[in-house]
Amino acid sequence: MKRFLLVHYGEIGLKGDNLRYFVEKLRKMIRDKLHKNFEKDFSVKYVLGRFLIPLPVKFKEEQYVEVLERICGIANFQFVYEGALELKNLGAQIYKSMGEFTENLKTFVVRVKRSQILPYSSCVAEAELGAQLLNRGINKKVKLKGADLEINVEFFNEHGYFS
């Protein structure tokens, strides 16, 4: 599965008429800092109020964290997998990607953000994906607040991106 960095920005979103200017400045800064630190060209795409950055096949998350934490304007970021838009296929992809690191965890929750074009609500998607994971044998209890494992999913750009 393809891996991406999903970057959300902070207060620059409040800049009104200057929003495009500040978003472009941040996009260029992210691209330049990644290029400088990894000596590779990075595509930093602006999509629906966030940046999406394809990652190389082999990368070390810690190195990217060090770079991105020092960029002013970034509110948060996460390393995501690109998955299917259809919930049944996406549930299978999430389960497959979980590996054995979840063995010591007791509870989980699924959190979904979606674009408005999808025919179901975020709550419906959360319930469906959670049910699929339970049916596939995740063997964890659902806990809506303070879960040991939080699975984040964002739907946009004809894909479901999950971490």
Helix (H) or strand (E) holding 38: helix 19-38
Token pair recorded at residue 38: 């990894």
* Residue 3, helix vs strand vs coil: strand
Per residue in 93-121, pLDDT tens? 999 998 766 778 899 999 999 877 788 89
Is the confidence at residue 58, as pLDDT, over 90?
no
The residue-averaged pLDDT of 5-22 equals: 83
Give the C-alpha separation, 117 to 156, whole Å: 9
What pLDDT score was predicted for residue 100?
67
Alpha helices in the chain (DSSP H): 19-38, 61-68, 87-98, 122-136
Per residue in 122-138, pLDDT tens? 999 999 999 999 998 88
Per residue in 24-47, pLDDT tens? 999 999 999 999 999 989 999 999
Is the confidence at residue 64, as pLDDT, over 80?
yes
Give the C-alpha separation, 152 to 110, whole Å: 6
Give the C-alpha separation, 6 to 48, whole Å: 11
Sorted by where each starts, the structural domains of the chain and their CATH numbers stand as: 3-82 (3.30.70.1510), 85-157 (3.30.2130.30)
Give the C-alpha separation, 78 to 65, whole Å: 9
Instruction: Provide the 8-state DSSP code for 68.
Output: H
What pLDDT score was predicted for residue 105?
87
